[in-house]
Structure 1
Amino acid sequence: MSSGTEGFGDFAAACSGPLFRTAWLLTGDWHLAEDLVQETLGKVFRRWGRLDQIEEPIAYARTVLMRTYLSHRRRRSSGEQPAETVPESATYDGDVALRLTLLDGLAELDAKDRAVLVSRYWEDRSVEETAAELDLSPGAVKSRSFRALQRLRAALGDSGVGDMSALHRSA
């Protein structure tokens, strides 16, 4: 590799899994999540030689992923529709029914609200980190979180889910 791209392969291998999990939670679509990760890594690669000033390249990659996801959702040319069912996947040690219920509830939220909840509660980011990733003010993150959690609780009904941490625990 050239000096400008040195270490990118290791970086991409290390962060692809976490980026994919986040992308899959955002989209609910295995293939779209893979596409978003590929697009994200492509964008990061183009700037890789200049990222040495950034303390946490993975945080930069997460920000690129979130913004790529939101950009994709805004595009009218996207003709793909989400699947009715979640594709088959490996078994989980946690409560699978709860996980699927939460994923269905997330799917009912708009893109920005879903991104806020995934960043804040799944990725366990602070309000400030989420605001920076999504180019929002901290107040907007707080109000979106509050309203999105209310809508998610209403969608889930009496399942007894208090917050998104149940999704994290069941993963």
Structure 2
Amino acid sequence: MVRTGRDEEFTAYVTARTPWLRRVAYLLCQDWHRADDLVQTAITRLYVNWRRASAADNLDGYARTVLVRVFLAEQRGGWWLRVRVGRRMPDQAVEAADHADVLDLRAALAGLAPRQRAAVVLRFYCDLSVEQTSEVLNCSTGTVKSQTARGLEALRRTLRPVANEETRA
């Protein structure tokens, strides 16, 4: 039956690529639970359009585009989608000394505007070109360049080491 083959193909792809999609989603939203929700929504949309998606030249690119657009659409949604009642505890205990730079970068990334964060993640984590990023974000290459530049400048400002009083003297 055609549908069974389609479902098996979809299931194989999703099983193999979910960890990668989840990491991209986490970099976009900075919350593992929300990342899981974004991935689930993206996978559902991917399934609905599987015939078109599986025919795409770059299936990973298609899935990533769906994921980023789900994230950006959620950002534009109502405030109740983003309200946090309380501060969440980290998913895993980590030693601050071993992961301080990673945690600082994640915090700085979380402070960026959603489109700046998406542009930075797509350009530097997913290693997409300006043109590919503009296709994913559905905007001009100039917008990608400006959003990336603003995002990088904000990251630099946030991550700039604070001058120690002793080093100034």
Letter in 2 for 1:144: Q
Distance 2:12 2:130 in 1: 29
- Equivalent of 1:46 in 45, 48, 68: 48
**2:157 matched to 1:154?**
yes
Letter in 1 for 2:72: L
1:12 Cα deviation after fit: 0.2
Q: TM-score, normalised by structure 1?
A: 0.83
CA 1:12–1:133 in 2, change beyond 3 Å: closer, same or farther?
same
Percent identity of paired positions between Structure 1 and Structure 2: 36
CA 1:113–1:102 in 2, change beyond 3 Å: closer, same or farther?
same
- Equivalent of 1:139 in 138, 142, 152: 142
**2:19 matched to 1:17?**
yes
CA radius of gyration, larger in: 2
- Runs of 4+ in structure 1 over 4 Å off: 82-86
Q: TM-score, normalised by structure 2?
A: 0.84
Distance 1:86 1:117 in 2: 26
Greater RCO (Cα-Cα under 8 Å, separation 6 or more): 1
Residue-by-residue CA offset, 1:62-114 (whole Å, 9 max, x unaligned): 0000000000111113143397566233869xx51111001111111110000
**2:108 matched to 1:117?**
no
Q: Which has the higher helix share?
A: 2
Unaligned runs of 5+ in 2: 163-169
Letter in 1 for 2:110: A
What SS is found at the alignment partner of 1:2?
A: helix
Unaligned runs of 5+ in 1: 160-171
RMSD (CA atoms): 2.3
Distance 1:37 1:82 in 2: 22
Paired residue for 2:166? none
Distance 1:30 1:82 in 2: 16
